[in-house]
Structure 1
Amino acid sequence: MNSTSNLQQKGALFFRLVLPIFITQIGLYAMNFLDTVMSGHAGAAQLAGVAIGTSIWVPVFTGLSGILTSITPLVSQLNGANQSTKIPYVVIQGIYLAIALALSVIVLGSFVLNPLLDAMHLERAVRDVAHGYIVALSFGMIPLFIYNTLRSFIDALGRTRVTMTITLVALPVNFVINYLLIFGKWGFPKLGGVGSGYASAITYWFITLIALYIVHKKAPFSALRIFKTWFPVSLQAWKTQLKIGIPIGFSIFFETSIFAAVTLFMSVYNTETIAAHQAALNFASFLYMLPLSISFAMTIAVGYEVGAKRFRDARQYSRLGILSALILAVFCATGLYFFTDSIAALYSNNTDVLSLTKHFLLYAIFFQLSDAIAAPIQGALRGYKDVNVTLVLSLISYWVIGLPLGYVLAHYTAIGPYGYWIGLISGLAAGACLLWMRLLTIQRKQHQATPAYENSL
């Protein structure tokens, strides 16, 4: 990152941040996309099983990895304040915390996974795939959490092309291993959806080893000498990271878990409905990578400017990010409307699944505008280190408004399973409005607190 003096320079720098992040997110998401699509072509039960497994795993992973993203605003603000000598300590403690969180998930999961799946009353074939998929993923949890810490550090320095390159290198590896293990090619066992879990775990080890090498050997990261000193574990340092990271993690968890909860509620419907719901949700999540990438870039840019006490520049980046996301959302919604048939055909050749998927995709159109506002604002607020109120707003939007409304519509109207999607849309819209008001409040307070500085710009 570096300082800018006008809006044109900010736009150019912001674009250089966002594009690699977007490609990285697409690459990472493509791994889940490949899991879903390739499993779907192995059978409806395989797709449904991976859908259930993903619905359990994704909220846990995204919530906990959200805690680890506290590294981004911490490092970004240290970088903006020219205090780079403090960065290695923060990163090493982040790695320790990542390992501790991963081990906690593995231990806890060994106790709760079977009871959770049994309580869902799934078809036996679907349950077995879901269980096997999650167990397979567990072999890659520790490296995945470490990688998220390293990625947050790398991106915080504005070097987003590095993580983009790592992801692009890893994607074909994931595809090949998926192909071998799902379909049993070239002498490998035919594992179906479970094979996609092992493929992801192997890929997580691969990207982590590459990231460790780059941070240790390649400039500008090597100049910081991150691994020169392995500091002892510091509970105080963990407390600092958790103070920022826990609200971020729970905020992300509340958002992602509502989608998981909907999928779990839909387990009462037949396999075709579960598969169609997951297919449509998978593609809607794919489109979400655009505002999410802008959100990550906002955290880096806003955090850097806040660390340097340039609050007007931070506001300009906020507006730039939201406007960019809205423009892109309009294009995505338009494309989704006109290419519904083609998109549905990516996931299955089952006639019932295709028909249901097309209907679900029409509801996904309305996700776009709300996501385009909410995601960038969340990124900006993290750059300000304002995370506690965001946590409360996420809880209200998704679990107090979205899910209850969806449940009522699904069970007490003729809309059926589509009622859950209307509830999701309502929750996202409410969240976008509340977050917008919070961002305006934070920026107004900073403007009033630094009038001399603002007037001098």
Structure 2
Amino acid sequence: MKSLQSKTLHESKLLLKLAGPIIVGQVGQNLIQLADTLLVGALGPVALGASAFAGSLFIVFLIFGLGILAPTTALFAKMQGQENFPHGGVLLRHSLAVALGISAVLIAAIYLLIPHLAWFGQRAEILSLGMPFLKIITWSILPSMIYQCYKQFTDGIGKTKVGMYVMIAGVIINVALNYVLIHGSYGFPRLGLNGSAWATLIARTLMAFGMVLYVHLHPKFKVYMAERWIHNFDHQILKSMLRLGIPTGFTYFFEVGAFSSAAVMMGWFGAIPLAAHQITISLASTSFLITLGIGIAASIRVGFEMGRGDYSLARHAGFTAIKIGGFYMGLCALGFFFLRHWFPTFYVTDPDVIEWAARFFVVVAIFEIFDGVQAVSIGALRGMSDTQWPGIIAFFAYWVMGLPGGYLLAFHLGAGPVGIWLGLLIGLIFASVFLSWRFHRLSHRYLSSSSSPET
């Protein structure tokens, strides 16, 4: 029997081996947004604020869609643990059907919302630039969902490098297109802010094509495609995916929607705090996505062991991942605090924007650890196909506590723009405590119901 220390070390290596390529892919996804922010920043605070406003609305819809697909990673991992390989192709086909259907709904929803953007109380110059930007980038939902569908498959079966390589290529294409389309270099038209949207749309489309072609043409995936690809759909599989996916979509929606709503409220203070907020959230999101990669690895490991019936190891894998996520985000917290005046200079030279961003980074440094714990806990719970309770916890954390608390602090208790970030901190503390507690209770319940001894 392995000692607890050696068991934890072994599990950590497995998690990090899985998480490494996923993290690169997750960071790459955020680098597309980071590249957009850096290059748009040269157009001035109004353009940066417009991209922040439009991007905040767009990301709520995109993340909801990606959240619906998220549980399929654990389903693929469970299939791998059971060695029922042909079922992987069946799951992939049904997952793609879900991705296409949800994409159509989300795109239609955004276009119905666009004529009513004035409801959000933004200034006229922000709306005039943000509206056409949003119209273009909305169409990137479809290729993003297709790419994610295939990435969930390759990640779930342990081939995590596939999505990583495609994402790296997408980042390079996106940065190059951003440069030439925003500024009109090398004979391309000068499109300004809209050039950034077109760059993102083209890059994500090429990424989707890359994933589809690789999975269907490479021999290593033939074992998963034993059944005919064009085949009648099993409505029970579709219902099962939606039953797991919709609560996860709302979990993502509640969290990302809270941060996007925070950006909307920040816009009520003007373009300067909004630009500072965009800088802060851009860098904080980079560190978060690394932790999210660890959470996805936790989902794969927990799901794989659940498929094998080893509930003790599934529990151990989940808690090991939570510890890794918390430790990493603690290091990020130190970096954000001590370099809070330096990071904003990557984006702008405006001293007011830099000062506001530095104030926001103080709060970010505090909530980093809580953000890491809640992100990995969600992944571990998803490995156990538990999606409803995380959604309920997220709703209370962000929409009952976080956002109302931030609004009161910012607009009624004199904290100003920093109060909005303090509200987000309150929500993250609540989420981290109750999500990790939920994983403890659920994993213990599986152990108690199992006749196999805990090792």
What is the deviation of 1:10? 2.2
Work out the CA distance in 2 between the residues paired with 1:415 and 1:138.
34
Cα deviation, 1:95-119, whole Å, max 9, x if unaligned, reads 111111111122222221121x121
Q: 1:420 to 1:121 in 2, by over 3 A?
A: closer
Partner residue in 1 for 2:204: 204
Question: Which ranges of 4 or more aligned residues in structure 1 deviate by more than 4 Å?
Answer: none
Work out the CA distance in 2 between the residues paired with 1:350 and 1:405.
30
Counterpart mapping for 1:196-235 below 5 A: 196-225=196-225, 228-235=228-235
Question: SS at the partner of 2:191?
Answer: coil
Do the aligned partners of 1:277 and 1:360 also contact (CA within 8 Å) in 2?
yes
Counterpart mapping for 1:17-416 below 5 A: 17-115=18-116, 117-225=117-225, 228-416=228-416
Structure 2 unaligned residues grouped into runs of 5+: 1-5
Work out the CA distance in 2 between the residues paired with 1:106 and 1:226.
33
Work out the CA distance in 2 between the residues paired with 1:41 and 1:232.
52
Cα deviation, 1:352-405, whole Å, max 9, x if unaligned, reads 211211111111111211012111111000000011111111111111111111
What TM-score results when the alignment is normalised by the length of structure 2? Answer: 0.96
Work out the CA distance in 2 between the residues paired with 1:7 and 1:359.
38
Cα deviation, 1:98-151, whole Å, max 9, x if unaligned, reads 111111122222221121x12134333311221122111133222211111101
Work out the CA distance in 2 between the residues paired with 1:194 and 1:121.
22
Work out the CA distance in 2 between the residues paired with 1:222 and 1:44.
51
What TM-score results when the alignment is normalised by the length of structure 1? Answer: 0.95
What is the deviation of 1:226? 7.2
What is the deviation of 1:329? 1.5
Do the aligned partners of 1:393 and 1:434 also contact (CA within 8 Å) in 2?
yes
- What percent of counterpart residues are identical? 26
Question: SS at the partner of 1:158?
Answer: coil
Do the aligned partners of 1:91 and 1:226 also contact (CA within 8 Å) in 2?
no
Question: SS at the partner of 2:354?
Answer: helix
Say what the alpha-carbon RMSD is for the aligned residues. 1.5
What is the deviation of 1:9? 3.1
Q: 1:163 to 1:169 in 2, by over 3 A?
A: same
Work out the CA distance in 1 between the residues paired with 2:315 and 2:401.
29
What is the deviation of 1:331? 1.2
Instruction: Kindly provide the amino acid, as one letter, of the partner of residue 60 in structure 1.
Output: F
What is the deviation of 1:177? 0.3
Do the aligned partners of 2:144 and 2:208 also contact (CA within 8 Å) in 1?
yes
Do the aligned partners of 2:85 and 2:223 also contact (CA within 8 Å) in 1?
no
Number of residues of Structure 1 aligned to a counterpart in Structure 2: 450
Instruction: Kindly provide the amino acid, as one letter, of the partner of residue 393 in structure 2.
Output: L
Do the aligned partners of 1:214 and 1:221 also contact (CA within 8 Å) in 2?
no
Question: Please, which moves more after superposition, 379-388 or 358-367?
Answer: 358-367
Work out the CA distance in 2 between the residues paired with 1:79 and 1:387.
21
Work out the CA distance in 2 between the residues paired with 1:272 and 1:233.
52
Question: SS at the partner of 2:452?
Answer: helix
Work out the CA distance in 1 between the residues paired with 2:302 and 2:275.
40
Q: 1:44 to 1:85 in 2, by over 3 A?
A: same
Question: Please, which moves more after superposition, 305-314 or 262-271?
Answer: 262-271
Work out the CA distance in 2 between the residues paired with 1:94 and 1:179.
35
Cα deviation, 1:256-303, whole Å, max 9, x if unaligned, reads 100011111222111111111111111111111121111100000000
Partner residue in 2 for 1:423: 423
What is the deviation of 1:68? 1.1
Question: Please, which moves more after superposition, 359-368 or 229-238?
Answer: 229-238
Do the aligned partners of 1:92 and 1:227 also contact (CA within 8 Å) in 2?
no
Work out the CA distance in 1 between the residues paired with 2:276 and 2:171.
25
Do the aligned partners of 1:216 and 1:226 also contact (CA within 8 Å) in 2?
no
Cα deviation, 1:192-246, whole Å, max 9, x if unaligned, reads 2221111111011111111011101224323322784222344433211001001
